[in-house]
Structure 1
């Protein structure tokens, strides 16, 4: 098992339960991959994947299995958004009413294009819209300026990317997963989280995995044949295996030396990279404050910010921007300046985050495809190649890019592999 993220740990657990001997090799000094709870700013904060929901079937089954508690951030009492250069204020309900017409028009054909969202390639007509970006389809609506920028900022927050880079099909897939309801999609992707942090889920699966797990063990090369593979680590160790599950993210899969090489579809997707290249920033401000959220536009280094934790004398905000190259989560002055787009009354005490785009074991945040990538590459990304099998939230069927997608992919790949080795179904 190459990778000890959620997909790899789930696959390891399922395969061990079939009586197979499993070895997990994780390059980092921790498990979890792109989910990572770390203690900063006086709280346990999520550096990566965070939110989940009961409409996400695979992760909710894990929540039930391990008896994990779910919580949420404080409900916003105030909203800020931009109308040109003017800051508007109101309630959450008023903002939702503002973006509702645009959201409904943009997503009106969702269930036509994706009638079976767990199998996005089952509908051949999806190819008709896969070449469009979200920017393309948003521009077609010719919305009034205030509505346009509000919708734009909301989608930048979802995509963690410039909208010209993000495939319209990614927006459709998120919305199809909630039966066409953009309101439910918005809630499912950004409200509820584990009370014990994603760490609680990672630890529970790892403890249940029944596998040998090694951290700080980077695999540099795979040589594979009809019946066996040999993995070479950065330390020069050679490990033989009957089957290998590769869980590397799309953006770095092509960097792994594989002989014979991986198929053209996997390599092309890795070379093109995912659309998402943004930043997630945690911001501690002096309190007390009323919980709020704010949207700006794609032109600003931070497009979305909201209150996630409230204390007696401080609060912690979480913010997102479309391009990690434009702002560092550790640059307190730059983050303070970015917040002034909406309000200049916040006393920023400290900021933090993780640069996933520079992380050698990810080079991406959560999966949002570029135009054409779903119809051109998704099938190839999911397919085994001889003794090599592939699991990742990046190429899940239903909730790609989410914790749910990682679990789905790990389950699918484990079943596939076990069938090859034992005939079990």
Structure 2
């Protein structure tokens, strides 16, 4: 805040022993523009925020994008549908399995082979996608705690995420960018002994989630930093196209795993948690974080059911081929097609335009959920303090690789 003070002295100031007296005092304030990022840990990636402040109060926020532009759409228009999967991995690199699942399901529907996929393949896809969903939420919750001063939960969640990354590496051969879910099948079946190790991890994780509730979500300091901060109303969320845990944190029970019922999700029993304003106002930073924690618990429940199916009705056999439905040529008929799925951050969609002659899309457009979720930042930040702006940014859980695409 800049202050200009004009003084007019009383004639008595000619006497050095007499105190100065203000007969007029004008305070003039000016707004100041701060740059936060693009190289700043609290912006969660290469994001530059142009923040207009009045003292410590945020007047406006203007996000500046493009520092991690990957040319995703143009890349996928120059390679086949199968060759596009590694590029999909690099959009939301924290949840690559989920992104692959969305892309592959869309191509299978265009080819009309979605009903030819073996059930074991479908359950494996859901299993690895839910493991990746937990890993993604662990990054969101852990780094969010770190943003506002809670260091221990970050270490705990990174430790437990490491177990997931090692399992996914065991499955696919890669730590984060997998290229595991293929059009019509999988790269490989699950390794021998994977189901047992995965169940062992689930049993290990359950009590850890109870600890997380006590140490972070129910922590008095965490509640005071997040409750009633960055309140996003349900109507505003819908108008901005916000999806995922942020929309559900605002009280709308909208989850594509339930709404669209894709893959084998209709056969699985799980709930869709929504924000209720338990610690403040519905749709605040606390609600969004609580929804992610509850979704991790629901993902654990889904994984248990998948493991039961993969060791029961759809257990491994010697003649099982995870590539049995993989087409020799991926050449969809001429059409415009849109596919979507529930990514950890919201609705991830792909629009394809094909000409019926080539296995390369004529046009590909990605609907990145992080992009839409980030767009609401300014509206829910105005009037808050700069420290609250950092809490709001973290609660949106965006990945810049998906924003810039």
TM-score by structure 1 length? Answer: 0.25
Query: Highest Rg: 1 or 2?
Result: 2
Return the structure number with greater strand share: 1
Normalized per residue, the structure richer in helix is: 2
TM-score normalised by structure 2 residue count? 0.26
